[in-house]
A = this chain, B = another copy of it.
């Protein structure tokens, strides 16, 4: 697949396929047609075929998809079966919430440390995950392979912290801070979780729905 750039829109949909296939496996379903998968996921069958074709052809005419095979293949594509070590920068509520998600671990994403500047947290641990002081970061990064850093620090500190992480050899940042980190794409991979943005999108759609309802009422009057 060298040189074939797959769009982020397609990538964004893959975890959802992975999740639904996992649920099908749990339900004991061994194979599924693209039509049935389409109905289940509320996506068109042609979208499914197009999405999956990006990664090679998995379906067979008249047979459909082998659920287990497709699940495993998408898992490989997403790196789910590999072990990824994560550190969380910031042991506030959000950092603690991340550390408490057992689910990530099951997918191979293992949080091996939390870092904070609050001395009251020194020596504490969450689900067996130790909380370190931020000045221990450099030494920790030398001793451990770290794949991903989750960033949950105050906004004003995010940019400097991100660069500090990169200079410690971390090239993937899961950014929860409400700021766009500035990096060249070659340097580092950033995935943003901007909760306020998501809330505003919900707000927009909610307002639209209300206005639609008002308009519909007026028409029937």
Chain B residues whose C-beta falls within 8 Å of the C-beta of A20 in the assembled complex: 180
Is the CB–CB distance between B11 and A201 below 8 Å? Answer: yes
Is the CB–CB distance between A172 and B202 below 8 Å? Answer: yes
Within 8 A of B (CB), among A164-221: 171-172, 174, 178, 180, 186, 189, 191, 193-207, 209, 215
A80: Cβ under 8 A from any B Cβ: yes
Describe A's contact surface by its main secondary structure.
Answer: helix
- Which B-chain residue is minimally distant from A202 (CB atoms)? B191
A161: Cβ under 8 A from any B Cβ: no
Indicate the member of A93, A100, A194 with the most B CB atoms within 10 Å.
A93
Interface-facing stretch out of A44-52, A103-111, A129-137? A103-111
Residues on A lying within 8 angstroms of B by beta carbon are 2, 8, 11-12, 14-16, 18-20, 41-42, 77-80, 84, 92-94, 96-98, 100-101, 103-104, 107, 109, 147-148, 171-172, 174, 178, 180, 186, 189, 191, 193-207, 209, 215
